Amino acid sequence: MAISEYLESRKNITGSVCGIAGLGLTFAGVAGPYWPVVVVGLYGAGALIAPPERPPLPDFPDASARLDALRGDFETLQAYLAEINLPPAAAGRLTELTGLLGALLDPGWSAELLAHDPEGVHTLSRAVRQDVPEAVDTFVRTRWWTRLAPGQEAPERHLERQLTLLQGEAEGLAAALRETEARRQESHTRYLEDRAN
């Protein structure tokens, strides 16, 4: 520990306060000729009883930084999806889903709300980084195998169901954010009504 760190530490501050109390005892005539021992002893006792220094908290990126990284990953996902040829029904569902995900990730009011909702950020992150790419990639691989062995259930149906489920999850997140804003508005209305009375 550097000298400057020790001077600002809890141990030094507590010890100094106790040492000053020792000087007070000296001026009150209690310590007598042993005043240096009393002052040093009280300083040492104060330094020993002081609470230990806490290590600093880890500097994790805040929610807005995580959202910025997620926006970059969403752009990468959109570039990947642009190269995939999907059946019309699945393509339509995917367009709706990516439109909703894009709206949730847009900087602005939704980002401000998401910054205070780590579960919402996790839901979006999972959809962008895992669920959507996995659904589309699995469809592409399964479609190839289905061509080799026809007669199986069409992979398009599974993809459409997966995209529908993901759409529902994203709509649920949007509804929760909308509900948060509605509660905030109602709360402000009650505050203004109470203030008017």
Q: Which residues of 144-154 are buried (b: 16+ CB within 10 A; e: fewer)?
A: eebeeeeeeee
**Helix 132-148 crosses helix 155-196 at what angle (to 10 degrees)?**
160
pTM, 2 dp: 0.65
Instruction: Give strand ranges (E) for the chain.
Output: none
* Per-residue pLDDT reduced to its tens digit, 84-101: 999 999 999 999 999 999
pLDDT digits (tens, 9 = 90+) for 109-142: 777 788 788 888 899 999 999 999 999 999 988 8
105-108 LR contacts (CB < 8 Å, sep 24+): 105/67, 105/70, 105/71, 105/74
Q: What is the pLDDT of residue 6?
A: 78
Within 8 A by CB and 6+ apart from 167, the residues are 93, 96, 97, 100
Number of H helices, E strands in the chain: 9, 0
**Percent of the chain whose pLDDT exceeds 70:** 95
* Strand residue runs (E) in 5-137: none
Where in the chain are the domains? 3-49, 63-196
> Is residue 197 packed enough to be buried (19+ CB in 10 Å), middle (13-18) or exposed (0-12)?
exposed
Give the pLDDT mean for 71-81: 94
pLDDT of residue 55: 77
Q: What is the mean pLDDT of residues 59-70?
A: 79
Residue 86 in 3-state DSSP? Answer: coil
Phi/psi of residue 29, nearest 5 degrees:
85, 10
Instruction: Give me the pLDDT at residue 120, please.
Output: 87
